[in-house]
Amino acid sequence: MITRFAPSPTGPLHLGHAYSAILAHDMAHAAGGTFLLRIEDIDRARARPAWETAIFDDLTWLGLTWPQPVMRQSGRLPAYRAALQALWDRGLLYPCTCTRRDILEAASAPQEGAPPQGPDGVIYPGTCRARAHTSPLPDTALRLDLARALATLPPLAFTETGPARPGTHRPDRDAMLHGIGDPVLARRDFGTSYHLAVVVDDAAQGVTHVTRGADLFEATPIHVLLQALLGLPTPVYHHHRLIRDAAGQRLAKRDDARAIALYRAEGATPDQVRRMVGLCAPSARRGADAG
Ligand code: GLU
Ligand code: ZN
């Protein structure tokens, strides 16, 4: 078993990250497997070396270990470009020049209220899909032609072991077309997108079990689709509960009040942090591992 924790170095780690990282680490260790750390820093404008250092510090303090060197997405652009090229050569991508505002306006039918939302926000209305493009793979934003991509594949399936929706999931073609739309696979400023990078990297690292927050469950069909298109294995998915604050709000990265560093500064122990997120202490875990 290979699991991973894949934070973006754009802010402090909070209790929700601690839960996600410890869960992935403990799952791998319980199975005699490997826990990996991956730095998801494709957003060069927001990623900061200081946040990356803080991630290493916090996770080390929590008692987690991982093999070196750590994979950084900023060093992986050639791999993403190769995947885009393969999809482009099969006619599955098209350039998109729409701004957020263009998409909102095109998607908003008069009198029908707010336009439908998918995992990436407003569902793309397909404005640029039919535009002629014959050039080599351009440096623009690129979207996947979802209908065309689905038509090349047998039905999709993945295994989920998380507590909310365990079992085999078979993403439905029509539900994907209407509930997701054509996803962005390359942003003009990044040369890739979250969806493409995470799929290419999970495969490159041999990740067998993707553990991550339940907020990413709706994005999983996109990832399973990309794996099928690129000939990559589909890992097992484990979407875990989200850690909420006392008022039931999800913890955001910017909510410094819940930063692990703050609890550390106030003198909390790693065991206390484990208990705060509902996990048992490592002493109990070590006993379990030994037995
Ligand atoms: N980098 C993503 C995040 O910070 C995690 C992506 C994933 O686990 O698939 O939310
Ligand atoms: Zn467009």
Prediction pTM value: 0.93
Residue with the smallest CA separation from ligand 1 atom 6 is 6
Q: For the chain, what is the radius of gyration of the CA atoms?
A: 20
Domains defined along the chain, listed by start:
2-284 (3.40.50.620)
Question: Is any ligand 1 atom within 6 A of the Cβ of residue 8?
Answer: yes
> For position 257, what pLDDT does the model report?
65
pLDDT of 256 higher than 80: no
> For position 290, what pLDDT does the model report?
42
* pLDDT tens string 219-254: 999 999 999 999 999 999 999 999 876 666 666 555
219 token code pair: 């994005």
Distance (Å) of CA 138 to CA 91, 142, 229: 13, 8, 20
> For position 132, what pLDDT does the model report?
84
Question: Is any ligand 1 atom within 6 A of the Cβ of residue 268?
Answer: no
Question: Is any ligand 1 atom within 6 A of the Cβ of residue 7?
Answer: yes
Q: How confident is the model at residue 291 (pLDDT cuts 50, 70, 90)?
A: very low
